[in-house]
Amino acid sequence: MPLPDIPRSRLTGWFARMIASRRFQKWATRSMFTRGVVRREGAALFNLLSGFCQSQVLMALVQLDILRIVLDRPLSAEVLAQRCNVPADRMVILLRAAVALKLLKARRDGKFGPTRRGAALVGVPGLAAMIRHHDVFYRDLADPAAFFRGETATELAHFWPYVFGGAMQPEVAATYSDLMAQSLVLVAEDSLCQVDLGGVKTLLDIGGGSGAFIEIVGRAYPKIEMVLFDLEEVAPAALARFDRAGIGDRTRIACGSFKTDSIPQGADAISLVRVLYDHDDRTVANLLVKCFNALPHGGRLIITEPMLGGDVPDPAGDVYFALYTLAMQTGKTRSVMEISALCVAAGFDIVAAPEAFRPFVTRCVEFRKG
């Protein structure tokens, strides 16, 4: 007699209900066949539960500059408490939490020093600045249900004024330009590991801020001519950067908004570094058409930014960056396929989507004008 044909959805639902059953959970905890899985899954759930505490420990370490203080010489909790103006008993709790997170290590003499991970955090360009900036993001997520309903008036919607265009006060422009420049170093380095710019004569970097990406490209490729295109409130700050890097004779600045102005002509390659995910599909589509029209036949378009995981969601793109761009209320994080569809609609042919070395830093997709 054949077995009944049970729909897959019913089997899936039965299995989920079984795992959710308290009776099954108690049995699985005792069984030698399942208790290892129970332990691992329980630890993973608790890690999610306590994740916000871990983030706040990280924020405190950065705000108090503890990792940098102990970088050269391990110090005791008492000394760190005095240096940071934190009560000694509370400093002990913070330091033990940092040890648990493998950012600090406790020595036998009672002093605390950085682990490899903690030392790396100090050295990663822009990471400490981005962590400090998260106080805005935390406030936006204070009521997650309201956030996902779209009921939150987020602070991040006003933190990056360049997204909306228009004039900016000099101090506002300096604040976001500095944060962008610091965080762009890793993005630029990882991008150049994925994309070879050999053969490019002139690179046009759209939305390049104070020129951090162009600086790194200029150091890596001594023959490329480069053009920076961005708002007049931020782009001129790149002049000093280019002169310090010794690439001032190969760079040119063109000021304007890609939303309302024409894109400079003459480049055989265009880079969009963390630009698309700041904007909605209509703005992105218009920008890509402008890029297509500005490039010669055979011209290259290089897009580099954090992306969704596509068919397999990942914690970087589908959690962190997806929520961050949602809080900005202007753009969204997209997958390689979504970006490719927009570029193909603008007339481009996809050339390559190399595997990212660190997807949590950036991914690259390259297109060509046929």
> In what helix (H) or strand (E) does residue 182 lie, and over which residues does it extend?
helix 170-194
Token pair, residue 116, equals 């490899």
Give helix 88-100 / helix 51-63 axis angle, nearest 10°: 120
- With bands split at pLDDT 50, 70 and 90, how would you rate the model's confidence at 163? low
* Rounded mean pLDDT, 252-279: 95
The answer on pLDDT for 4 being more than 60 is no
The answer on pLDDT for 141 being more than 90 is yes
Q: Which domains does the chain have, with CATH numbers?
A: 51-123 (1.10.10.10), 139-369 (3.40.50.150)
pLDDT of residue 119: 96
Q: Is 312 exposed, middle or buried (CB count within 10 Å of its CB: 0-12, 13-18, 19+)? A: exposed
Give the pairing type, strands 269-273 and 202-206.
parallel
pLDDT of residue 257: 92
Q: Are 104 and 118 in contact (CB under 8 A)?
A: yes
- With bands split at pLDDT 50, 70 and 90, how would you rate the model's confidence at 298? very high
**From CA 251, how far away is CA 291, in angstroms rounded?**
19
Per DSSP (E only), the strands in 107-168 are 111-114
pLDDT of residue 2: 53
pLDDT of residue 301: 98
Tokens 């070879």 identify what position? 196
Q: Which of 259, 262, 241 shows the shortest CA–CA distance to 251?
A: 241
Cβ neighbours of 324 (radius 10 Å): 18
Q: Are 302 and 195 in contact (CB under 8 A)?
A: yes
* Rounded mean pLDDT, 143-171: 77
> In what helix (H) or strand (E) does residue 293 lie, and over which residues does it extend?
helix 281-294
Residue 105 sits at φ, ψ, to 5 deg, of: -125, 140
Q: Which residue has the higher pLDDT, 3 or 42?
A: 42
DSSP three-state, residue 65: coil
Give helix 212-220 / helix 170-194 axis angle, nearest 10°: 40
* Rounded mean pLDDT, 337-343: 97
* Rounded mean pLDDT, 256-281: 95
**From CA 245, how far away is CA 241, in angstroms rounded?**
6
Q: List residues bridging with 367 in a β-sheet.
A: 301, 350
The answer on pLDDT for 224 being more than 70 is yes
For the stretch 99-105, contacts whose Cβ atoms lie closer than 8 Å and that sit 24 or more positions apart, written own/partner, are: 101/54, 101/57, 101/58, 103/58, 103/61, 103/67, 104/66, 104/67, 104/70
Q: Are 147 and 137 in contact (CB under 8 A)?
A: no
Least confident window among 6-10, 101-105, 308-312, 323-327 = 6-10
Tens of pLDDT, residues 7-33: 666 777 777 787 878 887 778 788 888
Token pair, residue 35, equals 């208790």
- With bands split at pLDDT 50, 70 and 90, how would you rate the model's confidence at 323? very high
pLDDT of residue 315: 93
**From CA 308, how far away is CA 179, in angstroms rounded?**
23
Tokens 């970088």 identify what position? 71
The pTM of the full predicted model, rounded to 2 decimals, is: 0.87
The answer on pLDDT for 176 being more than 80 is no
- With bands split at pLDDT 50, 70 and 90, how would you rate the model's confidence at 191? very high
Which residues have C-beta within 8 Å of that of residue 20, sequence separation ≥ 6?
A: none
Q: Is 329 left (phi over 0), alpha (psi -120 to 50) or beta?
A: left
Token pair, residue 89, equals 């008993």
Tens of pLDDT, residues 225-242: 999 999 887 777 788 899
Task: Please give the full DSSP string across 252-276, using - where no structure is assigned.
Answer: EEEE--TTTSPPPP--SEEEEES-G
Least confident window among 16-20, 114-118, 360-364 = 16-20
Token pair, residue 137, equals 């993001």
**From CA 302, how far away is CA 197, in angstroms rounded?**
10
Q: What are the distances in angstroms from CA 63 to CA 81, 114, 176?
A: 14, 16, 19
pLDDT of residue 175: 54
Tens of pLDDT, residues 89-110: 999 999 999 999 999 999 999 9
